[in-house]
């Protein structure tokens, strides 16, 4: 009942701390009676709502680690995702999840592979056999993969020790077929992955640039930074996209409330790589950098 309540609250996006604390406290007392699905759903729900209770996470971790052999593929991926999103790094739990995941890799659906890949890539944890198992498990369900999975899985794999991973070719083809459905975050992730993995696929690069061009003004600061950095790092010259990114960047930095250190570091680097000089833009980025530094330094 408590796990279902936590799940319902997360689906309704109810961020009521007293309610969450009450659910958390009651859950800790009852965890030994939780099923594997309830354990996974509770950690997933708390993480989704940004409720990072150390007491609850530690209690779930202890019980889940002993019960992992009963977890199915989705419960394993949801648990890994929840602890990664909560920045809860616990090597024994991750090692146990990796071992159980390798045994159950044939059960995974595309979202399970995407969640596991993302989780492992965001934590300082490396298990090469597990990484290779994730990469191979992601291929059978690629035809049913969502746009989010097609863009997120290569992004995550690019952060793992998988040189010359054969599944990247398959994901590149899937991305090329799905680009018309990609949203700004998907496009930025794809551009970044192409660069990180050194994918030599000119049609995918050109199509990603053209797709990004149509929605560049919707890009967040991080989307702009990642996309411009990716194309500059590969020395890919796409003047229309470069000009659109410059225009979108100007809109961002002229907003007095805009604070994004990654954007302010990566975007000028990218334009320098393009050998592109835009005096008003560089002046605005300089002013925004000074403003950001003053705000973050408390001056």
DSSP codes of every residue in 54-93: HHHHHHHHHHHHHHGGG--HHHHHHHHHHHHHTT---HHH
Query: Quick one: pLDDT at residue 14?
Result: 57
187/119 Cα distance (integer angstroms): 20
Which one, of 248, 235, 224, 225, lies nearest residue 275 by Cα? 235
Query: Quick one: pLDDT at residue 2?
Result: 46
42/76 Cα distance (integer angstroms): 13
How many H helices and E strands in the chain? 16, 0
- CA 248 from chain centre, in angstroms, equals 23
- In which element (H, E) is residue 45 found? helix 36-48
Query: Quick one: pLDDT at residue 182?
Result: 92
- Phi first, then psi: give them for residue 51, nearest 5 degrees: -95, 100
Tokens matching residue 36: 């594997």
Tokens matching residue 183: 């949203």
253/224 Cα distance (integer angstroms): 12
Which residues are CB-neighbours of 44 under 8 A, at least 6 positions away? 7, 10, 78, 79, 81, 82
Query: Quick one: pLDDT at residue 187?
Result: 92
Tens-digit pLDDT profile for the chain (299 aa)? 545 545 454 554 556 677 777 777 777 777 787 887 777 877 777 777 777 777 777 888 888 887 888 888 888 888 888 888 887 777 888 888 888 888 887 788 888 888 888 888 888 777 888 888 888 888 887 888 888 888 888 888 778 777 666 777 888 888 888 988 999 999 999 988 888 877 777 888 889 989 998 888 889 888 988 888 888 887 777 888 888 888 888 888 887 777 778 788 888 788 777 777 777 877 888 887 877 777 766 55
161/196 Cα distance (integer angstroms): 12
Tokens matching residue 278: 């835009």
Can you give the pTM of this predicted structure?
Answer: 0.71
Query: Quick one: pLDDT at residue 15?
Result: 61
């Amino acid at each position: 009942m408590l796990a279902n309540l936590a799940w319902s609250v997360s689906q309704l996006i109810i961020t009521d701390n007293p309610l969450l604390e009450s659910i958390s406290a009651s859950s800790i007392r009852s965890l030994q009676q939780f099923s594997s699905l309830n354990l996974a759903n509770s950690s997933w729900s708390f993480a989704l709502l940004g409720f990072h209770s150390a007491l609850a996470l530690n209690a779930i971790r202890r019980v889940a680690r002993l019960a992992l052999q009963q977890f199915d593929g989705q419960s394993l991926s949801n648990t890994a995702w929840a602890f990664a999103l909560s920045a809860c790094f616990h090597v024994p739990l991750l090692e146990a999840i990796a071992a159980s995941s390798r045994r159950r890799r044939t059960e995974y659906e595309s979202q399970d592979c995407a969640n596991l890949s993302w989780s492992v890539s965001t934590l300082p944890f490396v298990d090469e056999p597990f990484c290779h198992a994730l990469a191979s498990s992601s291929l059978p369900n690629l035809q049913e993969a969502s746009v989010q999975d097609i863009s997120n899985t290569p992004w995550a794999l690019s952060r793992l020790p998988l040189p010359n991973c054969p599944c990247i070719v398959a994901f590149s083809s899937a991305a090329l077929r799905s680009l018309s459905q990609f949203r700004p975050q998907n496009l930025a992730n794809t551009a970044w992955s192409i660069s990180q993995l050194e994918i030599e696929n000119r049609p995918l690069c050109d199509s990603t640039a053209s797709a990004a061009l149509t929605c560049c003004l919707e890009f967040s600061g991080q989307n702009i930074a990642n996309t411009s950095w990716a194309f500059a790092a590969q020395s890919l010259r796409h003047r229309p996209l470069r000009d659109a990114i410059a225009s979108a960047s100007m809109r961002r930095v002229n907003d007095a409330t805009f604070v994004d250190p990654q954007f302010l570091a990566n975007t000028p680097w990218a334009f320098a790589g393009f050998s592109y000089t835009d005096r008003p833009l560089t002046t605005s980025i300089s002013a925004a950098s000074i403003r950001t530094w003053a705000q973050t330094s408390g001056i």
